Amino acid sequence: MNPAETTPRPRRGERIAIAAILAVILLLFFIFLKNVMLPLIRLELRHDLVGAQQLLREEGAAGALSVVLIEALQMLVVFIPAEFIQISSALSYPVWVSVPLCDLGVCLGASIIFLLVRRFRVSNLAFEKRRDRIERLSAELHERNTILLLYLLFFMPFIPFGAICYYGAGTKLPYRKYILTVASGVLPSVVVSNLMGAAGTAFLINDLPLWQLVLVILALAALLFALILVFIRRVCFRGREGTPDSMMYAFIFFLVRLWLGRRQKIEIDDAALREVEPPYILLSNHESFEDFYYISRMAHPRNPSYLVNEYYCTRPVLKSMAKRGGILSKKLFTPDLAAPVGILRMIRKGYPVVIFPEGRLSPDGRTNPIAESGAALYRRLKSPLVLVRIDGAYWAHPKWRKKRFRSDIRVSVRRVLGPEELAALSDAQLDELIRETLYNDASEHLGGVYPQRNKAVGLDGLLYRCADCGALYRTEGVGNELICRACGSRHRLDERYRFTDAPGTITAYYGAIRDREAKELDALDLRAEVKTKIFGADGGPVRWEKGVCTLDTEAFRYRSENEDFSIPTEKLPALAFSCSEEFELYHEGELHYFYPLAEPRQCARWALAVDLLTEKRKKEGESKDGKA
């Protein structure tokens, strides 16, 4: 919201004072332009070095003061290019003089902006035109991340210094941090612009080759950029390495906001969260890969850490980024003591932790069963438990579709449990409460409109079996239709992402496949020749091989020239997979990606079979408990 819309405008005397200051600056600007710049340019065009030096000696301190004030002026009015005065200053003075003059002018202008915004609540029309562009990059940033954002904005083209300072002055940054950030953040641009002026002088007077001019400017700009990054890390983010307050964490989410920030309309209902003191555990359902971004948009009192698939924390580059950014890892669907230890460590440091207890994306829009109970850990941590539900994310980017669609996303805090409430519940009661609160069925919340003409493309990677005739791997997503090449049935998706005929929804179609597979479960006998990608334990080397996978009601088995192992189905609660690509599991700490050599659509079938076996064991266990 524009501060000028909610706060009284400055009094008449204050406006007169501001206008007087601007009038003086404008007057000095024209004096400098008339007495210094135009004569200097004429002298330089004639290569009159002696005349230029004489002019600068005559102007002396007045010329230097004019540089400072003109730089401040362009900050206030925003639309005057800063490069004009910076290059001109370098044409008039040595670089070691012109750079401090320009930086001092920027600081003066930034200080006046700070005073205008904080004291008089003055806005700026030129800034307001750019407000949306800046605010899209700054959603829900806290003080430390705001500093990084300002630095990154100063490095970005097409956003004037003045607009950035108007934004920075409107945040909660104290003046000391604000002005330090401005003074250091503009240095790369100021120095490069001054070098352009100095090199331009050499180019005009000393016949400096153009390629040398370009090379010198690029090299010095890269050096200054590196120095600024060191400054940010050592001063602004000192002592925060490996936590969600680190520079890497801020950088990751800055890039994520650039990537995703303009795509979706996100509605946040987190009023209940604002009453929760960190640290806390936040649990959410998991409908799309971008769910972590939607959670980050909530008003967290402290940046939360995220528990993610170990794959993203052990690969080259990703491993370093995750470690520096305070991201926690978990091996999916296999015992992993490192995960609870990492959660406990982050909680003790006072940071919230975000967990998606399903451990995988929803295939059909319904929340997956939570295979691994974390109730005992949540109760033992004695921290609040925040239960959040995400709606609409499934239609934005389901796991079977490569493209992201625009969708209405809603993130809402459904319940907050304090330590006392957690202590009063048994593990079983808490597990059931979590399942009921997080459960969602995307087919019941079709609020958006999807006019795309390729809504069914990739859907056959999930709906691999015809719901009409039962044929395996004969369905094909073409445009907005799911077509069976065996019986010829066609099911068309409308703009609400519903089938125009029975079974009505993707969820119902998947349910029909599920029911058919359940009837054949006792005779389960899957076999696939695969190309296997094996990720070494704890970030070890990656290797490839070929082998054969089999699955029946007793065990999952894999055999190759190098390996031969089996995993009883009771120790395999779920099987993560990517539609029409691969299915995956851990064995002895190593992550195995199995790529079927024939019919990649079968990946969804393997995962569904494991789910059905797990569900069957659970029902049998409940039946035995009931009889006992």
d(CA 396, CA 597): 30
Q: What is the pLDDT of residues 148-189, one digit of tens each?
A: 778 777 766 567 788 888 888 887 788 988 998 898 888 877
Q: What is the pLDDT of residues 244-256, one digit of tens each?
A: 988 888 888 888 8
Identify the weakest region by mean pLDDT among 113-117, 294-298, 472-476, 614-618: 113-117
HEC secondary structure over 482-513: EEECCCCCEEEECCCCCECCCCCCHHHHHHHH
- The bridge status of strand 385-391 relative to strand 408-417 is antiparallel
What are the residue ranges spanned by the domains of the chain? 3-236, 247-444, 459-519, 521-627
Mean residue pLDDT across the chain: 83
Q: Give me 96's structure tokens.
A: 């070691």
- To the nearest 5 percent, what fractions of the chain are helix, strand and coil? 50, 15, 30
Q: Give me 185's structure tokens.
A: 């953040």
Q: Quote the pLDDT of residue 236.
A: 59
CATH 3.40.1130.10 corresponds to the domain 247-444: yes
Q: Quote the pLDDT of residue 361.
A: 95
Q: What is the pLDDT of residues 124-140, one digit of tens each?
A: 554 555 455 455 445 44
Which range, 116-130, 176-190, 394-408, 596-610, has the best average confidence (pLDDT)?
Answer: 596-610
**For residue 231, pLDDT beyond 70:** no
Q: What is the pLDDT of residues 513-531, one digit of tens each?
A: 999 999 999 999 999 999 9
- Per-position b or e across 234-267, b if 16+ CB within 10 A of its CB: eebbeebbbbbbbbbbbbbbbeebeebbebbebe
Stretch 434-439: mean pLDDT, rounded? Answer: 94
Identify the weakest region by mean pLDDT among 44-58, 124-138, 407-421, 448-462: 124-138
CA distances from 75 to 78, 157, 377 (A): 5, 15, 53
CA distances from 125 to 77, 122, 166 (A): 9, 10, 11
DSSP letter assigned to residue 179: H
The answer to whether the Cα torsion of 353, 359, 363, 367 is positive or negative is negative
Q: Quote the pLDDT of residue 573.
A: 93
**For residue 201, pLDDT beyond 90:** no
Q: Quote the pLDDT of residue 392.
A: 92
Reduced to 3 states (helix: H, G, I; strand: E, B; else coil), residue 254 is helix
- Sorted by sequence, the CB contacts under 8 Å of residue 389 that are 6+ apart come out as 284, 285, 411, 412, 414, 437, 438, 440
pLDDT band, very low/low/confident/very high, at 17 (cuts 50, 70, 90): low
DSSP letter assigned to residue 520: T
CA distances from 479 to 402, 460, 461 (A): 14, 12, 14
Q: What is the pLDDT of residues 84-101, one digit of tens each?
A: 566 666 766 777 888 888
Q: What is the pLDDT of residues 566-594, one digit of tens each?
A: 999 999 999 999 999 999 999 999 999 99
CATH 3.40.190.10 corresponds to the domain 521-627: no
Amino acid at 10: P
Amino acid at 86: Q
d(CA 310, CA 592): 12
82 phi, psi to nearest 5 deg = -70, -30
**For residue 72, pLDDT beyond 70:** yes
369 phi, psi to nearest 5 deg = -60, 140
Q: What is the pLDDT of residues 353-365, one digit of tens each?
A: 999 999 999 999 9
Stretch 105-122: mean pLDDT, rounded? Answer: 82
For the CA atoms of 441, 444, 447, 448, the dihedral, rounded to the nearest 10 degrees, stands at: 60
| CA distance from start to end of the chain | 63
- Please give the full DSSP string across 95-130, using - where no structure is assigned: HHHHHHHHHHHHHHHHHHHHHHHHTS----HHHHHH
